[in-house]
């Protein structure tokens, strides 16, 4: 009889990174199918071009730097798919190819690969394409939610991802199964909706496919969001705030992407400032309050504090 | 209330390690060929940091040699071939004895906490005064240790607490139950003890035992809290129950608290009422065995005999684990004995054994969400991996209770718990190496009575 020796723990959850990424494909499959139905076979070509280029880029980079090739964990093709979903339906084929290359090469590997990048590679590519090839990336129309039917098939969709908001609810399944965490999407969605209502923006402009995609798939990208419990709440609120600021003055589709991209910048900063205390004693507000009070030179002002 | 079976079969061979506690190894009192009786002392303490070892069976000493130990090391052990007859030492009860007698009796009886510290050192630490005794009854496998009824369990446990308080010279005692352990809570709730009615009080938020001591105006209370498990829970447990902080690398004794388990409380009760030393214990056998159960076994029985008493393996075993599936130690062989520190034996089949390779951390924050003491395990693990131990210390790595939940949920299969342990050890080493002069501005040493 042979017995295995290993360090504890001896039971582990069978959730792996590979599993999480491949489940995300399932969640994105419906919206991809609807976009192919809506935009025709050109959309399929865009998606395949994105995925293909992402895979090629990852393999070439990892071979060139003599690293283990990790395409099978599904992360690079997922980036390619997401980049393709963010381009307009009538964009030329080289747009997702350039985008996927930029996302994987610059967005992901230049920063150190999985877990090390600071910006969501999909958004890096989108911002790059938006700034470099404005005319090709500007969608023909911006969606507006008019009725229930628009939830299923949005006729005003400009981007692939905007064709059907309801097809993206697979993301909710990811949250239910705890493959992605819930604090960021919840607070992001709440903040955006509440603020948009407060300043009187039309909710039909806010709730688009792009917004739901941003909430469920882009903001929850784990390496580019904070890890502390309070930090994730603040990050969600910040995403919402930035989205509404941009969206109020321009449009809510671009606002989602720019909002999350800018919130990525401060994710590490949020993390460093929300580290919990010993045994998680004080809440964040208490600590901020204490820090503020400590700065007041009470002793110099002649105030005595009794313990 | 869990049913406890008694292991009746007499095994062919008993291995009694001469070290079943944290501290110094005992010196053997017997040699090859001698005949020993049940309860006969076979290991003598060379120092105070030690607990005596007794024979749990009647038989002939086959050899005194190095043998495997559930901790994974090889320890000098007494191997005994038991015989059918049971001849016992004369046990004398210790009714009405004082603190000193109780402490020395506990030491002589070799009573050890399930986490390894000899009970007499826990109750009577050198240079420290204990004012509160806690009985940790939050782990279900120790509850119902060979009691007929829940009522007997509850009243005996209160008697034991009284004894522990007497031995420690403490003025207050607390029994801590688990929130979801309805059996035990029902057993204690409404019980009349020394003219007062016991009420099980939940520990909520900042409402800790001090509040209930004042509220109920008594010196013994029963409280309940969430289950805490882990190898190193004492600082957190002390904080959670009493609100006192234990300084880094200090024992709860420095905060005036002694923590005992149900097993040792029961053993002390037996010692005082019958005079029997600590020679038998309850282990929970689970996993790929035909008849999983709670079994009262004699200390020194090998795992193989215990599993045979449970009906044998129900498949090809691939992993044999002592003391819990999350924090336990995987065994090299079946020929390891049950010791005073063994609480459970788990057998895993081939398909349950996972072989994973650690990957990069993806900052998914699952470990942050499961951590019971609010650490950021992924960040501390990364810092420990780079040898940045001072930063680990700033992030309160010493609070880690080594429960292993972070490693268990990690999708990248990083050995987070081991990295945290590693940094904790490194920090402790750095503290030890500091000379007196250099450390003058550091808070060192475990001064007693400090808050």
Residue of A nearest to B357 (CA): A16
Contact assessment for residue B244 and residue B206, using Cβ atoms and an 8 Å cutoff:
no
Contact assessment for residue B128 and residue B253, using Cβ atoms and an 8 Å cutoff:
yes
* pLDDT band at residue A305 under the 50/70/90 scheme: very low
pLDDT at A96: 95
Of A95-99, A254-258, A296-300, where does mean pLDDT reach its minimum?
A296-300
Nearest by CB to B360, which of A19, A115, A275? A115
pLDDT at A25: 93
Q: Does the distance separating the beta carbons of A3 and B374 come in below 8 Å?
A: no
Tell me what the mean pLDDT of segment A29-51 comes to: 93
* A41 min Cα distance to partner chain B (Å): 35
According to DSSP, the residues that pair with B75 across neighbouring strands are: B67
Is pLDDT of B383 > 80? Answer: yes
Q: Mark which residues 12-51 of A lie under 8 Å from B by CB.
A: 12-17, 19-20
Is pLDDT of B234 > 60? Answer: yes
Domain ranges of chain A: 16-142+155-168, 175-272
Q: Mark which residues 348-377 of B lie under 8 Å from A by CB.
A: 348, 352-354, 356, 359-366, 368-369, 373-376
Best of B229, B233, B323, B363 to disrupt the A interface (most A CBs within 10 Å) is: B363
Is pLDDT of B247 > 80? Answer: no
CB of A287 less than 8 A from some CB of B: no
pLDDT at B439: 47
Using the 8-state DSSP alphabet, how is residue B88 labeled?
B
CB of B206 less than 8 A from some CB of A: no
Using the 8-state DSSP alphabet, how is residue B183 labeled?
H
CB of B32 less than 8 A from some CB of A: no
Residue of A nearest to B325 (CA): A10
Report CA-CA distances (Å) from A183 to A175, A258, B405.
10, 20, 20
Report CA-CA distances (Å) from A129 to A83, A134, A165, B278.
10, 7, 23, 74
Model confidence over B148-168: pLDDT tens digits?
677 777 888 888 888 888 888
CB of A307 less than 8 A from some CB of B: no
pLDDT at B9: 81
Tell me what the mean pLDDT of segment B382-402 comes to: 89
Q: Does the distance separating the beta carbons of B346 and A227 come in below 8 Å?
A: no
| Chains A, B: CB pairs < 8 Å | 134
CB of B6 less than 8 A from some CB of A: no
Distance CA A261, CA A246 (A): 12
How deeply is B62 buried, as exposed, middle or buried, from its count of CB atoms within 10 A (0-12, 13-18, 19+)? middle
Residue of B nearest to A231 (CA): B365
Is pLDDT of B307 > 50? Answer: yes
According to DSSP, the residues that pair with B43 across neighbouring strands are: B28, B53
Q: Does the distance separating the beta carbons of B417 and A9 come in below 8 Å?
A: yes
Is pLDDT of B440 > 60? Answer: no
Q: Is the dihedral of CA B356, B358, B364, B365 positive or negative?
A: positive
pLDDT at B441: 47
Percent of chain A whose predicted confidence (pLDDT) is above 70? 91
Percent of chain A whose predicted confidence (pLDDT) is above 90? 55
Is pLDDT of B2 > 80? Answer: no
Helix (H) or strand (E) holding B136: strand B132-136
Distance CA A286, CA B175 (A): 33
* B276 min Cα distance to partner chain A (Å): 35
* pLDDT band at residue A297 under the 50/70/90 scheme: low
pLDDT at A199: 92
CB of B420 less than 8 A from some CB of A: no
Best of A4, A178, A231, A307 to disrupt the B interface (most B CBs within 10 Å) is: A4
pLDDT at A250: 87
- In chain B, residues with a C-beta closer than 8 Å to the C-beta of A11 are 325-326, 352, 354, 408
pLDDT at B444: 52
pLDDT at B153: 79
pLDDT at A150: 77
CB of A11 less than 8 A from some CB of B: yes
Average pLDDT, chain B: 83
- In chain A, residues with a C-beta closer than 8 Å to the C-beta of B356 are 12, 16
* A297 min Cα distance to partner chain B (Å): 26
* pLDDT band at residue B434 under the 50/70/90 scheme: low
Percent of chain B whose predicted confidence (pLDDT) is above 70? 91
CB of B67 less than 8 A from some CB of A: no
* pLDDT band at residue A298 under the 50/70/90 scheme: low
- In chain B, residues with a C-beta closer than 8 Å to the C-beta of A9 are 325-327, 404-405, 407-408, 417
pLDDT at A47: 95
Is pLDDT of A78 > 90? Answer: yes
CB of A276 less than 8 A from some CB of B: yes
Q: Does the distance separating the beta carbons of A229 and B319 come in below 8 Å?
A: no
Is pLDDT of B334 > 90? Answer: no
Of the two residues B449 and B273, the one the predictor is more confident about is B273
Nearest by CB to B399, which of A17, A115, A278? A278
| R_g (Cα) of chain B, nearest Å | 22
ipTM (interface predicted TM): 0.84
CATH class of residue range B99-274: alpha beta
Tell me what the mean pLDDT of segment A224-243 comes to: 93
**Cβ-based neighbour number of residue B370 at 10 Å:** 14
Is pLDDT of B194 > 50? Answer: yes
Q: Does the distance separating the beta carbons of B348 and A15 come in below 8 Å?
A: no
Q: Is the peptide bond before B381 cis (omega within 30 degrees of 0)?
A: no
Q: Mark which residues 48-87 of A lie under 8 Å from B by CB.
A: none
Tell me what the mean pLDDT of segment A180-208 comes to: 91
Distance CA B75, CA B43 (A): 13
Domain ranges of chain B: 4-91+277-349, 99-274, 366-433
Tell me what the mean pLDDT of segment B193-207 comes to: 78
* A6 min Cα distance to partner chain B (Å): 6
* A284 min Cα distance to partner chain B (Å): 13
Distance CA B382, CA B417 (A): 12
B4-91+277-349 and B99-274 share one CATH topology?
A: no
Coil/strand/helix, residue B317? strand
Residue of B nearest to A113 (CA): B360
For the range A238-242, what are the long-range contacts, defined as Cβ-Cβ under 8 Å and sequence gap of 24 or more?
A238/A263, A238/A266, A238/A270, A239/A184, A239/A188, A239/A191, A239/A192, A239/A263, A240/A187, A240/A188, A240/A189, A240/A190, A240/A191, A240/A192, A240/A195, A241/A191, A241/A195
Q: Does the distance separating the beta carbons of A181 and B369 come in below 8 Å?
A: yes
Nearest by CB to A8, which of B334, B359, B404? B404
Nearest by CB to B353, which of A4, A8, A228? A4
Distance CA B24, CA A210 (A): 67
pTM attached to this predicted model: 0.85
CATH number, domain B4-91+277-349: 3.10.20.600
Tell me what the mean pLDDT of segment B306-333 comes to: 87
CB of A303 less than 8 A from some CB of B: no
Q: Mark which residues 229-268 of A lie under 8 Å from B by CB.
A: 229, 232
How deeply is A147 buried, as exposed, middle or buried, from its count of CB atoms within 10 A (0-12, 13-18, 19+)? exposed
Using the 8-state DSSP alphabet, how is residue B271 labeled?
H
Q: Does the distance separating the beta carbons of B365 and A181 come in below 8 Å?
A: yes
Contact assessment for residue B319 and residue B36, using Cβ atoms and an 8 Å cutoff:
no
pLDDT at A283: 62
Is pLDDT of A301 > 70? Answer: no
pLDDT at A219: 93
- In chain B, residues with a C-beta closer than 8 Å to the C-beta of A276 are 374-376
CA torsion B382-B383-B385-B389 (nearest 10°) is -160
- In chain B, residues with a C-beta closer than 8 Å to the C-beta of A78 are none
Nearest by CB to B328, which of A10, A19, A271? A10
Using the 8-state DSSP alphabet, how is residue B449 labeled?
T
CB of A113 less than 8 A from some CB of B: yes
Angle between helix B209-216 and helix B234-242 axes, rounded to 10 deg? 40
Coil/strand/helix, residue B287? strand
Is pLDDT of B210 > 50? Answer: yes
């Amino acid at each position: 009889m042979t017995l295995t020796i290993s360090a504890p723990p001896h039971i582990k959850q069978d959730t792996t990174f590979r599993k999480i990424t491949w489940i995300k494909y399932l969640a994105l499959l419906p919206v991809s199918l609807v976009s192919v139905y809506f935009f025709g076979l050109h959309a399929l070509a865009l998606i395949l071009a994105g995925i293909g280029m992402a895979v090629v880029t990852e393999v070439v980079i990892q071979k060139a730097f003599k690293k283990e090739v990790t395409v099978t964990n599904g992360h690079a093709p997922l980036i390619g798919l997401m980049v393709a979903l963010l381009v307009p339906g009538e964009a030329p084929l080289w747009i997702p190819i350039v985008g996927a290359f930029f996302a994987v090469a610059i967005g992901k590997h230049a920063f150190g690969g999985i877990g090390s990048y600071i910006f969501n590679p999909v958004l890096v590519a989108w911002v790059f394409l938006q700034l470099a090839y404005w005319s090709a990336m500007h969608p023909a129309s911006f969606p507006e939610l008019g009725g229930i039917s628009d939830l299923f098939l949005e006729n005003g969709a400009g981007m692939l991802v905007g064709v059907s908001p309801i097809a993206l609810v697979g993301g909710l399944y990811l949250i239910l199964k705890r493959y992605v965490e819930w604090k960021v999407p919840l607070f992001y969605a709440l903040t955006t909706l509440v603020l948009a209502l407060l300043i009187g923006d039309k909710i039909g402009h806010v709730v688009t496919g792009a917004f739901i995609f941003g909430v469920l798939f882009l903001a929850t990208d784990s390496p580019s969001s904070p890890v502390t419990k309070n930090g994730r709440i603040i990050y969600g609120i910040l995403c919402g705030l930035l989205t509404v600021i941009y969206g109020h003055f321009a449009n809510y589709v671009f606002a989602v992407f720019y909002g999350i991209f800018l919130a990525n910048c401060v994710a590490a900063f949020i993390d460093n400032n929300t580290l919990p205390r010993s045994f998680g004693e004080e809440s964040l507000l208490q600590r901020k309050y204490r820090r503020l009070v400590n700065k007041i030179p009470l002793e110099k002002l002649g105030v005595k504090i009794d313990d | 209330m869990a049913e406890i079976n008694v292991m009746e079969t007499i095994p062919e061979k008993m291995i009694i390690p001469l070290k079943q506690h944290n501290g110094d190894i005992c010196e053997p009192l017997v040699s090859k060929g001698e005949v020993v009786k049940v309860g006969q002392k076979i290991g003598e303490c060379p120092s105070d940091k030690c607990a005596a070892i007794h024979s749990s069976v009647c038989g002939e000493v086959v050899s005194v040699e190095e043998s495997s130990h559930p901790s994974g090391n090889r320890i000098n052990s007494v191997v005994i071939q038991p015989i059918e007859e049971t001849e016992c030492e004369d046990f004398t009860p210790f009714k009405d004895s004082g603190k000193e007698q109780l402490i020395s009796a506990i030491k002589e009886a070799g009573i050890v906490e399930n986490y390894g510290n000899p009970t007499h050192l826990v109750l009577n630490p050198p240079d420290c005064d204990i004012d509160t005794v806690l009985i940790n009854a939050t782990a279900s496998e120790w509850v119902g240790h060979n009691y007929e009824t829940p009522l007997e369990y509850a009243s005996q446990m209160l008697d034991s607490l009284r004894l522990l308080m007497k031995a420690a010279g403490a003025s207050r005692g607390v029994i801590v139950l688990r929130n979801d352990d309805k059996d035990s809570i029902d057993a204690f709730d409404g019980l009349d003890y020394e003219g007062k009615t016991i009420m099980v009080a939940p520990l909520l938020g900042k409402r800790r035992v001090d509040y209930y001591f004042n509220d109920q105006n008594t010196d013994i209370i029963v409280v309940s809290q969430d289950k805490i498990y882990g190898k190193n829970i004492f600082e957190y447990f002390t904080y959670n129950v009493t609100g006192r902080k234990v300084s880094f690398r200090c024992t709860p004794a420095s905060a005036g608290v002694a923590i005992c388990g149900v097993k040792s409380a029961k053993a002390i009760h037996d010692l005082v009422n019958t005079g029997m030393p600590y020679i038998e214990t309850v282990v929970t056998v689970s996993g790929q065995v035909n008849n999983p159960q709670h079994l009262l076994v004699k200390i020194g029985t090998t795992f193989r005999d215990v599993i045979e008493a449970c009906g044998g393996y129900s498949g090809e075993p691939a992993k044999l684990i002592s003391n819990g599936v999350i924090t336990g130690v995987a065994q090299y062989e079946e020929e390891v004995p049950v010791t005073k520190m063994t609480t459970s034996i788990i057998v895993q089949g081939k398909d349950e054994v996972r072989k994973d390779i650690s990957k990069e951390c993806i900052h998914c924050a699952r470990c942050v969400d499961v951590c019971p003491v609010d650490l950021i395990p992924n960040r501390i693990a990364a810092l420990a991996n780079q040898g940045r131990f001072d930063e680990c210390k700033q992030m309160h790595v010493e609070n880690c209770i080594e429960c292993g939940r972070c490693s268990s949920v990690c999708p990248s299969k990083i050995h987070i718990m081991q990295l945290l342990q590693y940094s904790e050890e490194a920090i402790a080493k750095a503290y030890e190496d500091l000379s007196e002069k250099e450390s003058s501005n550091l808070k060192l040493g475990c001064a007693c009575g400090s808050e």
